[in-house]
Amino acid sequence: MSAELLEAPATTETLTIGKALNLGLRRAMEDDPKVVLLGEDIGRLGGVFRITDGLQKDFGEARVVDTPLAEAGILGTAVGLAMRGYRPVVEIQFDGFVFPAFNQIVTQVAKMHARSRGLVPMPMVIRIPFGGGIGAVEHHSESPEAYFAHTPGLKVVAVSNPVDAYWGIQQAIACPDPVVFLEPKRRYWDKAPVDTSATPGPLFGSRVVRGGDDVTVLAYGPMVKTALQAAEAAETEGRSLEVVDLRTISPLDLEPVYDSVRRTGRCVVVHEAPVTLGLGAEIAARVTETCFHSLEAPVLRVGGYDVPYPPSKLEEDYLPDLDRVLDAVDRAMGF
Amino acid sequence: MSAELLEAPATTETLTIGKALNLGLRRAMEDDPKVVLLGEDIGRLGGVFRITDGLQKDFGEARVVDTPLAEAGILGTAVGLAMRGYRPVVEIQFDGFVFPAFNQIVTQVAKMHARSRGLVPMPMVIRIPFGGGIGAVEHHSESPEAYFAHTPGLKVVAVSNPVDAYWGIQQAIACPDPVVFLEPKRRYWDKAPVDTSATPGPLFGSRVVRGGDDVTVLAYGPMVKTALQAAEAAETEGRSLEVVDLRTISPLDLEPVYDSVRRTGRCVVVHEAPVTLGLGAEIAARVTETCFHSLEAPVLRVGGYDVPYPPSKLEEDYLPDLDRVLDAVDRAMGF
Amino acid sequence: MTALRDETDDADIGDLHEVVDPVPGAGAPHLPQQPDLVQLLTPEGERMEHPDYPLDVSDEELRGFYRDMTLVRRWDAEATALQRQGELGIWASLLGQEAAQLGAGRALRDSDTAFPTYREHGVAWARGVDPLHVMSLFRGVDNGGWDPVERGFNLYTIVIGAQCLHATGYAMGVQRDGDGSAVLAFLGDGATSQGEVNEAMVFAASFDAPVVFFCQNNQYAISVPLERQSKVPLYRRAAGFGFPGVRVDGNDVLAVLAVTRAALQAAREGQGPTFIEAFTYRMGAHTTSDDPTRYRLAGEVEEWKLRDPIARLKAYLSRSGLADAAFFEDVEAEADRLAARIRSGTVEMPDPRPTAMFDTVYAEQTPPLAAQRAQFEAYQASFEGGEHA
Amino acid sequence: MTALRDETDDADIGDLHEVVDPVPGAGAPHLPQQPDLVQLLTPEGERMEHPDYPLDVSDEELRGFYRDMTLVRRWDAEATALQRQGELGIWASLLGQEAAQLGAGRALRDSDTAFPTYREHGVAWARGVDPLHVMSLFRGVDNGGWDPVERGFNLYTIVIGAQCLHATGYAMGVQRDGDGSAVLAFLGDGATSQGEVNEAMVFAASFDAPVVFFCQNNQYAISVPLERQSKVPLYRRAAGFGFPGVRVDGNDVLAVLAVTRAALQAAREGQGPTFIEAFTYRMGAHTTSDDPTRYRLAGEVEEWKLRDPIARLKAYLSRSGLADAAFFEDVEAEADRLAARIRSGTVEMPDPRPTAMFDTVYAEQTPPLAAQRAQFEAYQASFEGGEHA
Ligand SMILES: Cc1ncc(C[n+]2csc(CCOP(=O)(O)OP(=O)(O)O)c2C)c(N)n1
Ligand SMILES: Cc1ncc(C[n+]2csc(CCOP(=O)(O)OP(=O)(O)O)c2C)c(N)n1
Ligand SMILES: [Mg+2]
Ligand SMILES: [Mg+2]
């Protein structure tokens, strides 16, 4: 065994989701000089969540661009940069501020590849810190993923942990298609060991993160942790939940879910977005169609209520939590 | 019986959907001086579909406003007008051009009433000619209803016939909440007798438009006609379809649907929008949850494919038609 | 390509350096004068006249401005402290912008309407909004507790720039009603880059709407300095849309009052919109979540302290004998009382009813949402019954 | 409120009447001259000099412009006819705008890139795009059949104004690559009201992007006349964003060429963006779906005929002896051949493969969409098998 190998530095580090994203971005920028970051306050400040901390200092202002305050402008110029052969990675400061850019995302980013019969690819990552639970004012706690998942031409992922954050951001940047990359802002400070020399699994795949037999619980982004907590609590009551981290929201990877539901016969989907036409609707429809004869109960949905995200003093009432997941599990078992 | 009554003019006229909307708008403007129309080309030209034909001439430029070419501007100024006590009725020229206004609709129109604890109502109608089938170029054939139905604070209706067009537009204008009013553009020229002195049913209610026993078929807007045609064709094969015109998309009025499905045990939802996270998803989830034990087959969805609306030479392949509805009915019966 | 570039160099759109200079002279002795800046009170507290903006202001009013600005600054300091102590989720400080806000706020008549951003606590004060109704927003109890219609002061708008269109539309309504009132839209320097803000200028110009755009150029949009948004002075944006723009010393409450009053009067008279750039400085952090040391030097802040809006009015009041020590002490005492009231009112503020979130989504409740509300109540009740305990 | 209003009246933003006049003088003898209009060829075909825009153009190039414009006009007429006969879904005519489009198109170098709206058939021609690749869009076969990368000519953009941001971003890429090319963004007068277009100006100015905004002011956005969008000349918009604007006679191919070349050259040299307002007129309907008699008078169209872009070049070529009858006949004959090719090529155009809609949604196909495609194929096949017949 060579000396080099013995001396190789440890490749596993304990990282927060935020830091994992920062390192993943850094590595992507090192790997490909065409990667350019654009956003409000991402340069000198390093972003309001510091996800781009230090990157402008090391890669310069041409690659980490503090833009004017205009989201359509950011997305629209990113389209132009992508046409020119760059790989723009755009930061939307908060979920609620993606809407000024919605026209560019829906009518341009999503359609350019199809419009041009594949001649104009749109490799682009739209990073959005999403979801609630941080005690913020209006527009800072939204979960807009269903809008994007309903839009053909976009791919949408939501990470739930530092490992997926580190690899996922690099994979999203390497992806030749536009990826809406959702970051669970209230979990930015959650930690886990990340092996930066490992070989990551595919970006667009769901994953069973806890085995179980009674009910299949699906979640993504910030709700994965909630689902796992619910599974733990359920265990003490002798109930066994299988938890799937969907990871990819568009395309949905439901084969592992079907397998699970065929075994458990029961399924609960959890997300923060309003229930009506949230991801739970689509998943319920597909799971029911595919596993019709295996289902002992309808697929139940736990989500935000169909109201504007409330003032923060009410967000605990609004957001799905362990108890609401367990309540749905109870109801599923009751059918 | 008085002479006046005997001499009363006939109140039933055969109208196209387009003309019914025009007359409905006229009547709303006569009834309430606070009704103001805003949009591109709606004044002198009378709108590209002539829905506002003659209204500027009769009500003046202060009430029928040709705006600058900016949809966010139209919606944003409409918000201000509503705050000032007006009832703006906004025309978006084509479905694909609502996205520049998306920020105002989602973050302002939809939230204002809740934000202000009810102190600032948003009575506003956003008229959108929607859907395909007219051989148009890109962005002129979209079905964006799911984006709005997923947004708490908005109400969304889709009309399918001249009677609902005539009354619906008046009811939407009278509604104290913001209503996205979807007009089936390819059916603008469809005709039916309209009794302009009748008492209309509620705006936010679905309606069984054809009775049947084997499968419940749900549709709204342009697809109601398609569903009815399918029901007719099915009858010749001895299959009896119950057709429900959903009419209201948000809030959904599913009680009549549940009643029907409990009888038929089978349900098919039809819309033009992409299947993934289209209205069919929500309806499938709710119908399954509510009628779980009555269902003989999963709720099946017939919709646009998950691709950008194609060039018009392919739109017949893209759009649900009679055959695709029947195919889904066959599959539902096959479970 | 000389032809076109020559135009850039002419007086009309040149002067790039003026703005690139991080602290363009708003009258401090060691800094160059800005010829296009309206000023009625120098940083040293000297009263000046401006040919276009004669100002008639009573001694009472002058003292009133001092009181307003001092009380609002104290409120601001108390709010920052309360946030540090965990009593507010966040706070957006107006420190340094008191003159811009009070000058503009006091230019309004009762029947006028203002559309703020999220930082116009000084305007809220001028509109008679209870500070606790602003605190409740930052505490997360509601989205602003005042009645926007009664106060003529819309709720805070957090989506940058969206309110400029609302103000313009509202002004179009005013125009139809013909009641001679006017509308004041607030925005920041960063907001000038938003498409919606520029659309508001298009609409306002096209319809001659009685709206005044009041831009507090506090030199930053969070960390991003003004020159990223515009290399030419912001007030010049208006001319390209066909209406006048004017730059006023935003730390000079009298100049702000005079300019805003004039613009509102023009709007009332049917002369259409005006864009006012109030040249000022954000003395504190963007919000309590922000760390400005990451993007600006302490020296810059120090230089702006020389132009403090309250100090200059105090100097003027003292020097001209309009106020004595007793007056200043009284104001301080009043500020203490206000701070105490804000503190106790904030910490004692009751949490909202959880079901509140269902009740005002619509003016006409929908059956599905009523059902969700009922489920929610039943679910909450199940805890009280100990079912889930 | 005299102070502010005085500014409106000064030369910089005044002249409201100039634009309210439905047919401001683009040089027709009976109409007032516009002092701010760059013109090198009068409507009567007289060559003029402009101090800022010297133009060196060979006889060959001059004849080339005549040929280009004539062929493009013929193509346009043929397309309109084909639409009437049901062979196209719709057609957006460029009639009257040939000079603006060819002058701009020929100002580009091969390595430059243009971002059109949906009406730039003349620019497409200049970029070497096969007319049939434009026809396929309007026939509903595809969204434009050319290769945008190879041609340096982006696909048509139908969402008004969206391409201005793409052009700006592309120019930011060019800037990073440092290859000395430039970018030309097309837009209409109506488009200037869109937020995104104004944001493009913000970004272009902020980053000194090598992009030129080429606005064809054809006086209408469908039925809406220019003055609804702006009461001041459009080229003045640019100054408020910090870069030069210039108005050129859009029916004068030489002036358009000279001004656009100069602006592109400035962009290449790192001097940043320019806004060009090409003052022209839409002689026909907005599209074949439109009926312009509903909103404008025939007399207006007649007046603009006096300023026809082709007639004036023809007059100049004849008068100066640069072209003879044989030349003009040759061009006519070529136009006939072109029209015939466009006609046959259009009517014989094969329909697209139905499965095509699934194949380029993503660069990397997704399993669910592949499954949908397979279902679609199976479903289609079921008809061939007669299952549903
Ligand atoms: C549409 C939108 N994008 C981003 C944000 C996040 N954000 C909040 S304040 C701010 C800076 C605003 O700067 P400016 O307009 O100068 O106002 P100031 O805060 O300086 O008063 C940003 C980017 C937002 N609120 N809305
Ligand atoms: C965002 C958007 N809104 C509305 C439309 C519908 N529309 C198509 S062309 C047009 C007018 C465009 O006017 P202008 O920019 O002057 O260009 P022109 O057609 O005169 O060349 C409108 C409103 C559109 N295509 N995109
Ligand atoms: Mg600022
Ligand atoms: Mg035009």
| pLDDT tens digits for range D206-251 | 999 999 999 999 999 999 999 999 999 999 999 999 999 999 999 9
Q: List, for residues B96-155, the tens digit of each pLDDT value.
A: 999 999 999 999 999 999 999 999 999 999 999 999 999 999 999 999 999 999 999 999
Distance C40 CA to ligand 1 centre (A): 30
Residue D65 scores a pLDDT above 70: yes
Q: Do B107 and A96 touch (CB under 8 A)?
A: yes
Residue D166 scores a pLDDT above 70: yes
Whether the CA torsion B120, C364, A316, A157 is positive or negative: it is: negative
D32 touches chain C (CB under 8 A): no
Q: Can you give the pLDDT at residue C35?
A: 74
Q: Can you give the pLDDT at residue B8?
A: 56
Is-same-fold flag (B9-195; B207-334)? yes
Residue D16 scores a pLDDT above 90: no
Which chains reach chain B with 3 or more Cβ–Cβ distances below 8 angstroms?
A, C, D
Whether the CA torsion C310, C316, C318, C323 is positive or negative: it is: negative
Q: Does residue C226 line the site of ligand 1, with CB under 6 A?
A: no
Candidate from B45, B276, B311 with C-beta closest to D294: B45
User: Which residue from A minimizes the CA distance to D207?
Assistant: A67
Among residues 256-315 of chain C, which lie with CB inside 8 Å of chain D? 262-263, 265-266, 269, 271, 274
Q: List, for residues A22-44, the tens digit of each pLDDT value.
A: 999 999 999 999 999 999 999 99
Q: Can you give the pLDDT at residue B146?
A: 98
Q: Can you give the pLDDT at residue A7?
A: 57
Pairing outcome for strands A267-274 and A300-304: parallel
Residue B280 scores a pLDDT above 90: yes
Long-range residue pairs from D302-305, CB within 8 A, at least 24 positions apart, any chain: D303/D23, D303/D28, D303/D31, D304/D23, D304/D96
Q: Does residue C361 line the site of ligand 1, with CB under 6 A?
A: no
Distance A142 CA to ligand 4 centre (A): 38
Mean pLDDT of A238-255: 98
- Which residues from chain C sit within 8 angstroms of residue A140, using beta carbons? 158
User: Which residue from D minimizes the CA distance to A86?
Assistant: D173
**Distance separating alpha carbons of residues A332 and A231, to the nearest angstrom:** 14
Q: How close D235 gets to chain C, by Cα (Å)?
A: 8
Mean pLDDT of B266-288: 98
Mean pLDDT of C57-78: 98
Superfamily name and number for A9-195: Thiamin diphosphate (ThDP)-binding fold, Pyr/PP domains (3.40.50.970)
Question: How would residue C384 be classed by pLDDT, with cut points 50, 70 and 90?
Answer: confident
- Which residues from chain C sit within 8 angstroms of residue D6, using beta carbons? 52
Residue A62 scores a pLDDT above 50: yes
Q: Do C379 and A324 touch (CB under 8 A)?
A: yes
Within D49-144, strands assigned E span 113-115
Q: Does residue C191 line the site of ligand 1, with CB under 6 A?
A: yes
Q: Do B80 and C173 touch (CB under 8 A)?
A: yes
> Which range is least confidently modeled, B139-148, B302-311, C23-32, D308-317?
C23-32
Q: How close D135 gets to chain C, by Cα (Å)?
A: 33
Helix (H, G, I), strand (E, B) or coil at A129: strand
Q: Can you give the pLDDT at residue C86?
A: 98
Distance C149 CA to ligand 1 centre (A): 25
* Domain B207-334 sits in CATH 3.40.50.970: no
Question: How would residue D28 be classed by pLDDT, with cut points 50, 70 and 90?
Answer: very low
Which residues make beta-bridge pairs with C196?
Answer: none
Q: Do D4 and C274 touch (CB under 8 A)?
A: yes
Distance A76 CA to ligand 1 centre (A): 19
CATH of C10-347, one of 1.20.900.10, 3.40.50.970, 3.30.300.30, 3.40.1390.10: 3.40.50.970
Q: Can you give the pLDDT at residue C89?
A: 98
Q: Does residue A69 line the site of ligand 1, with CB under 6 A?
A: yes
Residue B229 burial (10 A CB sphere; 0-12, 13-18, 19+): middle
Q: Do A278 and B150 touch (CB under 8 A)?
A: yes
Q: Do B289 and A278 touch (CB under 8 A)?
A: no
Residue C95 scores a pLDDT above 60: yes
B24: tokens are 């409905």
Q: Do B96 and A111 touch (CB under 8 A)?
A: no
Mean pLDDT of C283-312: 96
Looking at residue B133, the DSSP 8-state letter turns out to be -
Residue A281 scores a pLDDT above 60: yes
Q: Can you give the pLDDT at residue A10?
A: 72
Candidate from B96, B102, B276 with C-beta closest to A282: B276
Residue A313 scores a pLDDT above 70: yes
If residue D61 lies in a helix (H) or strand (E), which one and from where to where?
A: helix D59-84
Candidate from B99, B281, B308 with C-beta closest to A285: B281
**Distance separating alpha carbons of residues D52 and D258, to the nearest angstrom:** 9
Distance A91 CA to ligand 2 centre (A): 30
**Distance separating alpha carbons of residues A277 and A304, to the nearest angstrom:** 11
Q: List, for residues C329-373, the tens digit of each pLDDT value.
A: 999 999 999 999 999 999 999 999 999 999 999 999 999 999 999
Q: Can you give the pLDDT at residue D20?
A: 31
Question: What type of residue is B256?
Answer: P
Give the number of beta-carbon pairs within 8 Å between B and D.
116
Question: By 3-state DSSP, what share of chain A in percent is helix, strand and coil, each rounded to 5?
Answer: 40, 20, 40
| Mean pLDDT value across chain C | 92
Question: How would residue B7 be classed by pLDDT, with cut points 50, 70 and 90?
Answer: low
Q: Does residue C220 line the site of ligand 1, with CB under 6 A?
A: yes
- Which residues from chain A sit within 8 angstroms of residue C159, using beta carbons? 96-97, 99-100, 139
A307 touches chain B (CB under 8 A): yes
Cis peptide before B251 (omega within 30 of 0): yes
Q: Is A140 an annotated catalytic residue?
A: yes
Which ligand number lies closest to the CA of residue C190? 1
User: Which residue from D minimizes the CA distance to A154?
Assistant: D362
Q: Can you give the pLDDT at residue D29?
A: 42
Distance D224 CA to ligand 4 centre (A): 8
Distance B72 CA to ligand 2 centre (A): 14
Mean pLDDT of A178-187: 99
Of chain A, the percentage scoring pLDDT greater than 70 comes to: 97
List residues near ligand 2 (CB under 6 A): B 40, 69, 71, 93, 97, 100; D 119, 158-160, 188-191, 218, 220-222, 282, 286
Residue A96 scores a pLDDT above 60: yes
- Which residues from chain D sit within 8 angstroms of residue B68, using beta carbons? 190, 193, 224, 228-229
Task: Judge contact between C251 and C31, C-beta under 8 A.
Answer: no
Q: Do B70 and D193 touch (CB under 8 A)?
A: yes
Task: Judge contact between D193 and D229, C-beta under 8 A.
Answer: yes
Domains of chain D, residue spans: 10-347, 357-389
Q: Do B70 and C202 touch (CB under 8 A)?
A: yes
- Which residues from chain D sit within 8 angstroms of residue C232, using beta carbons? 239-242
Q: Does residue C285 line the site of ligand 1, with CB under 6 A?
A: no
Q: Can you give the pLDDT at residue A3?
A: 47
Query: Tokens 């997360």 — which residue?
Result: C140
| pTM as predicted | 0.96
- For residue C102, CA distances in Å to A175, B25, C52, C138 come to 52, 45, 21, 21
Q: Does residue C222 line the site of ligand 1, with CB under 6 A?
A: yes
Question: How would residue B206 be classed by pLDDT, with cut points 50, 70 and 90?
Answer: very high
Candidate from D166, D176, D195 with C-beta closest to A62: D176
User: Which residue from D minimizes the CA distance to B54?
Assistant: D294
- Which residues from chain C sit within 8 angstroms of residue A40, using beta carbons? 221-222, 224
D229 touches chain C (CB under 8 A): yes
Q: Can you give the pLDDT at residue D34?
A: 72
The residue with greater pLDDT, D387 or A320, is A320
Residue C12 scores a pLDDT above 50: no
**Distance separating alpha carbons of residues B126 and B91, to the nearest angstrom:** 6
Mutate to test the interface with C, among A48, A103, A314, A325 (most CBs of C within 10 A): A314
Which ligand number lies closest to the CA of residue C286? 1
D299: tokens are 């007399």
Question: How would residue D90 be classed by pLDDT, with cut points 50, 70 and 90?
Answer: very high
Q: Can you give the pLDDT at residue A9?
A: 64
Give the number of beta-carbon pairs within 8 Å between A and B.
127
Q: List, for residues B147-198, the tens digit of each pLDDT value.
A: 999 999 999 999 999 999 999 999 999 999 999 999 999 999 999 999 999 9
B291: tokens are 């009628």
Q: Do C143 and A48 touch (CB under 8 A)?
A: no
Whether the CA torsion C67, C73, C74, C79 is positive or negative: it is: positive
Whose CA is closest to D163, among D213, D121, D123? D213
- Which residues, at least 6 apart from A8, have a Cβ–Cβ distance to it below 8 Å? none
Looking at residue B104, the DSSP 8-state letter turns out to be I
Mean pLDDT of C274-281: 98
